[in-house]
């Protein structure tokens, strides 16, 4: 039953042969660069509008496999972080501005059905991503979180809920191994957390909590090149980090 990428016309006329009806997924792909939290968006060929990456679930495919396929297709990376955070089922969501158009005929397309979409977010290493559009889109690129254009359908709502979920995740699980260089300073780690959380954090309290979690290893060398006293470099302890990702660290709000 599995088939390669469908063309625009095939998706409209024959998509229901390969994909589940009434169900889709949308993925919020986050990256971090130049102290900015970024989101990967697609520009549609027909309308020029922007959307989150997404797609449909093949009939013999799990939800997670479908989400992994979408993220990998748009970034060139197998996602290490992939989190299902919400289902969006407003009965009017499909009546809003669409990203693409098709010529209607006497046979109604399956795309006119009501769709419930499952939201996933993923965090990827910015420097390794190769932004790649799909068959229906002409452009795939990063946008700063504070400069997001108008999005199709309810994608802005999906993005906002994904950010809330990401911030909640940050309080319960480690995040940063794929967002920072292998060696980093405590101020760099704090800036990452502040950027994601959208607020300033107390330096001493942040450092005390992070060191108390026992997932960081302080190196003997310091970072060079700054005007002030050079801070120590750290790296994540791989085994402890992986364990904390599975069990959580439940230390409360930062």
The two tokens of residue 119 are: 């939201």
pLDDT, residue 106, reads: 44
Select the more confidently predicted residue: 186 or 252: 186
Q: Tens digits of per-residue pLDDT, 226-250? A: 656 788 899 999 899 888 888 887 6
Average pLDDT over residues 6-10: 80
Q: Say if residue 198 is in the same domain as residue 93.
A: no
Q: Tens digits of per-residue pLDDT, 36-84? A: 999 999 999 878 999 999 999 999 999 999 999 999 999 999 998 899 9
Q: Say if residue 54 is in the same domain as residue 102.
A: yes
Q: Say if residue 90 is in the same domain as residue 199.
A: no
Sign, CA torsion 203/244/197/230: positive
18 domain-assigned: yes
pLDDT, residue 178, reads: 82
179 domain-assigned: no
Rounded to whole angstroms, how far apart are CA atoms 117 and 55?
9
**Buried (b) or exposed (e) across 157-178, using 16+ Cβ within 10 A?**
ebbebbbebbbebbbebbbbbb
> pTM surpassing 0.85?
yes
28 domain-assigned: yes
205 domain-assigned: yes
Q: Say if residue 153 is in the same domain as residue 214.
A: no
pLDDT, residue 108, reads: 62
Q: Say if residue 110 is in the same domain as residue 213.
A: no
Q: Say if residue 158 is in the same domain as residue 202.
A: no
81 domain-assigned: yes
Last residue of a domain, one of 172, 199, 221: 172
CB-CB contact of 101 with 46 (8 Å):
yes
27 domain-assigned: yes
* Range ranked top by mean pLDDT from 4-18, 99-113, 137-151, 218-232: 137-151
Last residue of a domain, one of 138, 172, 206: 172
Find the CATH number of the domain harbouring 51. Answer: 3.90.79.10
Strand ranges across the sheet with 216-222: 184-185, 232-236, 216-222
Q: Say if residue 73 is in the same domain as residue 128.
A: yes
Last residue of a domain, one of 111, 138, 172: 172
pLDDT, residue 250, reads: 65
DSSP string, 113-165: S--EEEEEEEE--GGG------TTEEEEEEEEGGG---BSTTHHHHHHHHHHH
Residue 104 has pLDDT above 70, yes or no: no
Q: Say if residue 151 is in the same domain as residue 129.
A: yes
Q: Say if residue 64 is in the same domain as residue 135.
A: yes
Range of the domain at 197: 184-247
2 domain-assigned: no
Residue 135 has pLDDT above 50, yes or no: yes
55 domain-assigned: yes
Give the number of domains in the chain: 2
Find the CATH number of the domain harbouring 242. Answer: 1.10.10.10
Q: Say if residue 95 is in the same domain as residue 163.
A: yes
Q: Say if residue 73 is in the same domain as residue 105.
A: yes
Q: Say if residue 156 is in the same domain as residue 211.
A: no
């Amino acid at each position: 039953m599995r088939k390669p990428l469908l063309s625009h016309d095939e998706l409209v006329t024959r998509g229901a042969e390969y994909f589940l009806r009434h169900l889709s997924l949308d993925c919020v792909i986050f990256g971090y660069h130049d102290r900015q939290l970024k989101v990967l968006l697609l520009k549609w060929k027909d309308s020029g509008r922007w959307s989150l990456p997404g797609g449909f679930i093949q009939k013999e495919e799990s939800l997670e496999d479908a989400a992994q396929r979408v993220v990998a297709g748009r970034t060139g990376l197998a996602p290490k972080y992939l989190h299902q955070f919400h289902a969006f089922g407003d009965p009017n969501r499909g009546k809003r501005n669409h990203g693409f158009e098709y010529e209607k005929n006497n046979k109604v397309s399956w795309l006119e059905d009501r769709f419930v979409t499952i939201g996933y977010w993923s965090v990827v290493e910015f420097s390794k991503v190769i932004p790649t559009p799909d068959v229906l889109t002409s452009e795939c690129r990063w946008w700063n979180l504070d400069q997001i254009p108008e999005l199709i359908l309810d994608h802005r709502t999906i993005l906002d809920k994904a950010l809330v979920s990401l911030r909640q995740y940050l309080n319960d699980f480690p995040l940063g191994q794929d967002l920072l260089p292998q060696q980093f300073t405590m101020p760099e780690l704090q800036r990452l957390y502040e950027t994601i959380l959208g607020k300033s954090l107390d330096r001493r309290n942040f450092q005390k909590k992070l060191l108390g979690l026992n997932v960081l290893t302080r190196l003997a060398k310091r970072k060079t090149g700054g005007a002030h006293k050079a801070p120590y470099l750290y790296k994540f302890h791989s085994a402890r980090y992986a364990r904390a990702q599975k069990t959580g660290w439940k230390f409360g709000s930062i």
